[in-house]
C-alpha cells in the first residue's frame, strides 16, 4: 500500500513538473531530486558516536545531588546491608 502511494505521488509530481522530494534514504530512487535528512545536530551526534565507538555514552551517573536518579521501589524496600546500617548508626552518634 505504501509503495503504491509513493508511486501515485511520484507520477503526479512528474506530471505537474514539480520537484520530487523524499527522505534521504530514497536518494537512489529515480526522479527524486531533493531530500530531507536529520538535523545538523543529529548528524554531529551520530558522527561523534561513530568516532568514539565503545567509549560513547560512558558518562558516569551522579549518585547524589539534584541530578541523581531516585532509588527504585525495590531498592527502597530492600533491607539495608550491615555496612549501611553501621554507617547510619555512626552518623547518628549511636554505638554498635
Averaged in consecutive runs of 10 residues, what is the pLDDT profile of the chain (96 residues)?
A: 88 92 85 82 82 78 84 75 63 58
Between the two ends of the chain, the Cα-to-Cα distance in Å is 73
pLDDT on residue 38: 76
Its pTM stands at 0.40
Helix or strand run (H / E) with residue 67: none
Distance of CA 54 to the CA centre of its chain: 16
pLDDT on residue 82: 62
Q: Name the one residue in this structure whose C-alpha cell is 509513493.
A: 6
Amino acid at each position: 500500500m505504501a509503495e503504491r502511494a509513493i508511486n501515485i505521488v511520484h507520477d503526479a509530481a512528474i506530471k505537474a513538473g514539480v520537484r520530487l522530494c523524499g527522505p534521504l534514504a530514497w536518494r537512489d530512487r529515480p526522479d527524486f531530486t531533493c531530500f530531507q535528512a536529520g538535523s545538523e545536530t543529529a548528524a554531529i551526534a551520530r558522527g561523534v558516536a561513530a568516532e568514539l565507538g565503545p567509549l560513547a555514552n560512558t558518562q558516569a551517573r551522579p549518585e547524589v545531588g539534584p541530578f541523581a536518579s531516585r532509588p527504585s521501589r525495590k531498592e527502597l524496600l530492600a533491607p539495608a546491608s550491615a555496612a549501611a546500617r553501621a554507617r547510619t548508626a555512626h552518623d547518628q552518634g549511636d554505638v554498635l
